[in-house]
Amino acid sequence: MNLFQGNRVKLTALTEQDAEIYADWSNDSEYLRNLDTDYARPRSAEGYKSDIQATISDLTQMEFGIRQIDNHKLIGFAALNGIEWNNRAAHLAIGIGEKEYRSKGYGTEAIRLLLRYAFHELNLNRVGLDVNDNNTAAIRAYEKCGFTVEGRMREGILRDGVKIDRIYMGLLYREWIALSKNE
């Protein structure tokens, strides 16, 4: 079993060349607004290069590129952030930057790979995340992977004058093992 490879995607190290692609994605406001609760703004490749370099030595985060197996095309990223080694916990983040690959199962496959890495390689016990309540595609992918809703920050996000809840979801190692046995 290749820890980093699924049927259609693989998780890879990020390179400085990937910063150009990240910068292109930052021009897609729909992508940015679903990815994060922060305000959307385009960023330069230089800024992303600095971010990529910083993650290499930071043991509280693991960030991977999501690439198609067939052609090695970078289509997104998957990360474990805020790793608390003493609590064996982390926060999951994922984004499919290439629009034509969204809502086609690539994100779900990448999440499953990242969870396998989190639970088997890093020996974590818990992976959590937060997601905008209106990002139904992401919520559906998280639920397919076993995440359950743990809480809600009511009206925690304001977009275009609309108040949106922020959903908190989590998955424990024992739940993931039980789900894996049924697949």
Structural domain count, the chain: 1
The parent domain of residue 134 ranges over 9-182
Whether 4 maps to a domain, the answer reads no
The residues near 168 (Cβ < 8 Å, ≥ 6 apart) are 128, 129, 130, 149, 150, 151, 152, 153
Whether 29 maps to a domain, the answer reads yes
**Residue 141's domain is classified under what CATH number?**
3.40.630.30
- Mean pLDDT within 8-20: 95
Predicted pLDDT of residue 169: 98
Whether 1 maps to a domain, the answer reads no
Whether 81 maps to a domain, the answer reads yes
pLDDT at 56 over 90: no
Predicted pLDDT of residue 160: 92
Whether 154 maps to a domain, the answer reads yes
pLDDT at 67 over 80: yes
CA dist., res. 110 & res. 65, Å (int): 10
Instruction: Convert the pLDDT of each residue in 77-132 to its tens digit.
Output: 999 999 999 999 999 999 999 999 999 999 999 999 999 999 999 999 999 999 99
